[in-house]
C-alpha cells in the first residue's frame, strides 16, 4: 500500500523524487534564486551555506564543470543552474554518470535570468571526470 501511495504522490508532483542537498555561498543571490526555482518545480533541497565551495566541488566531482552551487540528489552531482527537466531525466534514466552540469553562470539559465527551454547546453560528468555534451534543455 505504501508503494502505491508513494507512486501516486511522485506521479502527481506532490512529493520529491529523491532527497537533495544544495551547497552554496551565503552571499550568492543567484543561488537563492535557483533554490526558489527548484522549490517551484518540486525539488526541495536542504540548503547548506559553505565557505569552502572549491572543496565541495572536488568532493562531489564537479570541479571540471564548476559553477556557483552544487546540488547532490539521487546519488548524482548537479553543478550549477541546471534546468529541472535535465535533473528529472537524470533521475529517471539513471545513467552511469557522476552527474550533470551547466558550467559557469549563463545569463539564460534558471536562477540567472529568463530561460527558454531547449536552449541551454548541459554537460555530463563521467565517473572518470570527463566532460561530455548531454544535450540542450
Sequential pLDDT tens for the chain (137 residues): 444 434 444 444 444 557 999 999 999 889 999 999 999 999 999 999 999 999 999 999 999 999 999 999 999 999 999 999 999 999 999 999 999 999 999 999 999 999 999 999 999 999 999 999 999 99
For 20, phi then psi, to 5°, come to -140, 145
- Category of 97 on φ-ψ map: left (φ > 0), alpha (ψ -120 to 50) or beta: beta
Rounded Cα gap, residues 134 and 36, in angstroms = 24
Residue 18, pLDDT score: 77
Quote the pLDDT of residue 13.
46
Give the pLDDT score at 15: 44
The x, y and z cell numbers of residue 54, run together, are 572549491
> What are 58's three cell numbers?
572536488
From start to end of the chain, where are the E strands?
Answer: 20-24, 46-49, 70-73, 76-80, 99-102, 121-125, 131-136
Tell me if 62 sits within 8 A of 125, measured CB to CB.
yes
- What CATH number should be reported for the domain whose range is 16-136? 3.40.30.10
Distance CA 98, CA 137 (A): 19
Amino acid at each position: 500500500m505504501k508503494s502505491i501511495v508513494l507512486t501516486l504522490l511522485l506521479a502527481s508532483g506532490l512529493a520529491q523524487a529523491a532527497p537533495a542537498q544544495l551547497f552554496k555561498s551565503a552571499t550568492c543571490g543567484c543561488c537563492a534564486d535557483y533554490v526558489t526555482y527548484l522549490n517551484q518545480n518540486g525539488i526541495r533541497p536542504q540548503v547548506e551555506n559553505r565557505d569552502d565551495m572549491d572543496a565541495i566541488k572536488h568532493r562531489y566531482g564537479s570541479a571540471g564543470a564548476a559553477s556557483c552551487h552544487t546540488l547532490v540528489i539521487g546519488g548524482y552531482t548537479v553543478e550549477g543552474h541546471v534546468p529541472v527537466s535535465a535533473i528529472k531525466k537524470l533521475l529517471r534514466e539513471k545513467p552511469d554518470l557522476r552527474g550533470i552540469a551547466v558550467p559557469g553562470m549563463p545569463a539564460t539559465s534558471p536562477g540567472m535570468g529568463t530561460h527558454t527551454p531547449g536552449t541551454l547546453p548541459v554537460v555530463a560528468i563521467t565517473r572518470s571526470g570527463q566532460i561530455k555534451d548531454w544535450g540542450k534543455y
